[in-house]
Amino acid sequence: MTIRTRFAPSPTGFLHIGGARTALYNWAWTRRHGGVFLLRIEDTDRARSTAASEAAVVDGLRWLGMDWDERLSRQSERGDLHRAAIETLLARDRAYRCVCTPDEIGARKQQFVATGAKWTYDGRCAEANHGPACGPHTVRLRVSKTGRLDWQDLVFGPSGQDAREIGDMVIRRSDGSPLYHLAVVVDDVDMRITHVIRGADHLNNTPFQLALYRALDAPIPQFAHLPLIVGADGRKLSKRRDHVSVQHFREAGYLPEALCTWLVRIGWSHGDQEIFSLAEIRALFSLEATHRSPGHADPQKLDWINQTWIKRLPAERLAAELQPFLAAATDADAAAAAGSDPGLLGLIDLLRERSKTLAEMSERARFFALPDAALAYDPKAVQKHWKPALRTPLAALRDALVALTAWEPAAIEAAFEATLAQHEGLGRGPLAQAVRVAVTGSAASPGIYETLAVLGRERTLVRLERALAAWPAAS
């Protein structure tokens, strides 16, 4: 048997982290077992399902590193199949037409629940044999009133419900449109899905869907429901309070590796391993080790994971990821120029340890990407560190730097030492700070010798000249 799974998002404008995790578990598990993984867009809600919504899902999955097999399918294009399945169920008397209006049902339900019992449709039309010409009607599935609708969930274990608690649910609305459950089951049958892996919010839907499989005489897939995702505080994730879209995290400078690691660990573990590459996720992920209790989406944990990946990935890769962030912090030309400057890789190595996100890293790399003539000086830093008396030593340092034969941190340090030796009473700190403001515009940067080394001789000297020209005179 070839394993076939699917990720079936309802597009709502963005890829939710819960959906991304469902996709990741499906993808990893299917790839691990050599199966076929499908993407089906459940876009029957036409108002919300725009092309942009679908693109957000597709882009998000691709960015995270997932791929899918066969052609992407859309539920909205499969309406004929859904309608035909309903006709078949009617023809086999496994479904029937119901002419009860919502008002009538509402009134009967009110009386019924007053007795304290749980309402299901009371079966008034079940034996009425209404034909196609009965006027406005819905179609209901005949659900057994005895026995159980049980399944062995691959995560939650034995699960199910008494069939009589379900009732004859509607599968076609009075406007002729098929209900969601019908569409999902018919599509899963048609696509020969062997394993339905989805969020635990669908646990309650499964018994009725089992009844549908039975009525359709279709083989029943295995089900695996994934634990809910809650916030770090244990509360349900809320769109207003929490960041829930993959797009947000991408724009905030999180790496796809970090997001995948974070998501895979919300609901699954492998010993005490915390960091997983996509290849490891694909090799190790198992449904048996998936948890039942809700998983916490802790943003601080994500920061730590992201920083760990920033420390690990090759500088070339980070340079590529950094491009859009640098472009936003400067402009496209400056970012492109920085991208082709070999010094950028050295700068990334200096910034890795201190950056939680690419956005932070680009903020710190901004001085490097800016054209020398466009560097602005932080006025507070200028006031504090550009003392008039430092102008002469700074000019001497410039001369020492010009004379260097090798442009690397040790040689640069030696030029600083020589300048300090020439100027009695001059402290290492004040000189370094004066230079730092001159070449980066601010009082914070990695080690000054390393910073000058990655900036390069030419640019360093241009920036020192520019600073000397702007140096405050003694008042």
Closest distance between ligand GLU and the C-beta of residue 184, in Å? 5
CB nearer to ligand GLU: give 9 or 167: 9
Phi, psi of 297 (to 5 degrees): -95, 95
Give, in order, the Cα–Cα distances in Å from 279 to each of 32, 285, 420.
10, 10, 53
CB nearer to ligand GLU: give 205 or 308: 205
Closest distance between ligand GLU and the C-beta of residue 16, in Å? 9
CB nearer to ligand GLU: give 38 or 196: 196
Q: Are 67 and 218 in contact (CB under 8 A)?
A: no
Give, in order, the Cα–Cα distances in Å from 225 to each of 22, 151, 177, 193, 196.
9, 12, 27, 15, 8
Dist. CA 180–CA 171, nearest whole Å? 8
Q: Are 309 and 275 in contact (CB under 8 A)?
A: yes
Q: Are 296 and 227 in contact (CB under 8 A)?
A: no
- Where does this chain bind ligand GLU (CB under 6 A)? 8-10, 42, 184, 196, 198, 202
Catalytic residue flag (residue 239): yes
- Quickly list DSSP for 226-295: EPPEEETTSSBP-TTTS--BHHHHHHTT--HHHHHHHHHHSSB--TT-----HHHHHHH--STTB-SSPE
Give, in order, the Cα–Cα distances in Å from 82 to each of 61, 104, 122, 146, 192.
27, 27, 25, 27, 15
Closest distance between ligand GLU and the C-beta of residue 198, in Å? 4
CB nearer to ligand GLU: give 58 or 359: 58
CB nearer to ligand GLU: give 11 or 167: 11
Judging by DSSP bridges, how do beta strands 36-41 and 157-162 pair with one another? unpaired
- The edge-to-edge listing of strands for the beta sheet with 170-172 is 95-98, 138-141, 170-172
Catalytic residue of the set 145, 236, 239, 384 = 239
Q: Are 130 and 96 in contact (CB under 8 A)?
A: yes
Closest distance between ligand GLU and the C-beta of residue 185, in Å? 9
Structure tokens at 150: 């049980």
Q: Are 58 and 25 in contact (CB under 8 A)?
A: no
Closest distance between ligand GLU and the C-beta of residue 196, in Å? 6
Q: For residue 251, how far is the Cα from the chain centroid? A: 10
CB nearer to ligand GLU: give 137 or 198: 198
Chain residue at closest Cβ approach to ligand GLU:
198
Closest distance between ligand GLU and the C-beta of residue 10, in Å? 4
H-state helical runs in 92-177: 102-114
Closest distance between ligand GLU and the C-beta of residue 201, in Å? 7
Dist. CA 241–CA 325, nearest whole Å? 25
* Enzyme catalytic residues: 239
